[in-house]
């Protein structure tokens, strides 16, 4: 059976990954009820002054989420308007881990301490939901957890007692959630009614038995952040028997997600 392409070593130059993070639109639309969501205007302002670090190497975990968080860590560290105060702060209560804060960042323009949470996610429209490659995850649940659990961590008594004296109390919170959404190519399913950024990046998805004749070329998971051009990819054997969610590029540069036939009934790890 055709397997998902393996993770490959990172190229020596990471510039295109940084550029992708700075240009990939947020998934969610910012409304009054979700004020902490970093919207397109905020990302544009951040990108305008951003400095892409040169000659940096990544030696951490090659899982996509870890790499993505490191990219943001580097962008914050090198940004003239922000100062990294702390990162990956583990909160413990009675020996139990209650959560972790991604970043505490000082805004040099306002002088305020900010709590940032970052995530890159990929979801597919199906039966009025947005499930992920692992169908136990979906966009609504993820957004709700980030807004109601992750961001409030810096207001918790645990943070106050363990870290507020050292780092200060954040007065601004930001949820930076980027990624892509995929609509079904051969059915009329839609996603949930969650407020989606109108400028979000979209692709199409299909099941493995529906992809014959599309000429798709599979990409590695780290390249989900910034898919290569079709001409730069090697021809891929038929994806009609994939056993893992597989992202691929079509000849017209359209991005596709090819799902195994058992998805979403059985858990799939991309």
2 confidence band (pLDDT: 50, 70, 90): very low
Average pLDDT over every residue of 27-34: 76
Average pLDDT over every residue of 12-17: 85
pLDDT of residue 33: 54
pLDDT, tens only, 40-54: 999 999 999 999 998
Q: DSSP class of residue 146?
A: I
pLDDT, tens only, 225-240: 999 999 999 998 899 9
What strand order describes the sheet that includes 96-107? Answer: 82-93, 96-107, 113-124, 172-184, 202-207, 255-259, 246-249, 217-218
pLDDT, tens only, 120-130: 999 999 999 99
pLDDT, tens only, 235-267: 988 999 999 999 999 999 999 999 999 999 866
DSSP per residue, 41-83? HHHHHHHHH-----S----S--SHHHHHHHHHHHHHHT-TTEE
12 confidence band (pLDDT: 50, 70, 90): low
pLDDT of residue 166: 97
pLDDT, tens only, 75-118: 999 999 999 999 999 999 988 999 999 999 999 999 999 999 99
pLDDT of residue 266: 67
pLDDT of residue 30: 83
Half-sphere exposure of 144 (CA within 13 A, CB side): 6
pLDDT of residue 4: 37
pLDDT, tens only, 153-184: 999 999 999 999 999 999 999 999 999 999 99
Give exposure, 179-188, as e/b (b: 16+ Cβ within 10 Å). bbbbbbbeee
């Amino acid at each position: 059976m055709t397997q998902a392409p393996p993770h490959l070593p990172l190229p020596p130059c990471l510039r295109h990954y940084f550029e992708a993070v700075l240009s990939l639109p947020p998934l969610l639309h910012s409304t009054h009820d979700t004020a902490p969501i970093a919207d397109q205007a905020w990302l544009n302002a951040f990108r305008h002054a951003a400095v892409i670090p040169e000659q940096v190497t990544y030696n951490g975990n090659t899982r996509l989420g870890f790499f993505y968080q490191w990219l943001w860590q580097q962008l914050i560290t090198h940004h003239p308007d922000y100062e990294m105060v702390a990162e990956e702060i583990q909160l413990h209560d009675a020996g139990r881990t209650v959560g972790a804060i991604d970043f505490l960042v000082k805004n040099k323009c306002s002088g305020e301490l900010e709590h940032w949470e970052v995530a890159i996610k990929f979801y597919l429209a199906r039966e009025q939901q947005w499930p992920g490659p692992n169908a136990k995850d979906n966009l609504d649940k993820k957004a709700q957890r980030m807004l109601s659990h992750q961001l409030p961590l810096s207001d918790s008594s645990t943070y106050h007692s363990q870290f507020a004296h050292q780092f200060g109390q954040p007065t601004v919170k930001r949820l930076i959630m980027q990624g892509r959404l995929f609509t079904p190519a051969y059915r009329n399913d839609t996603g949930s009614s969650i407020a989606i950024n109108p400028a979000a990046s979209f692709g199409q998805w299909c099941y493995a038995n529906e992809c014959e004749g599309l000429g798709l070329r599979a990409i590695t998971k780290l390249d989900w952040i910034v898919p290569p051009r079709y001409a730069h990819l090697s021809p891929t054997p038929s994806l009609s028997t994939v056993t893992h969610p597989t992202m691929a590029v079509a000849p017209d540069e359209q991005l596709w997600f090819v799902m195994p036939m058992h998805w979403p009934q059985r858990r799939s790890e991309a």
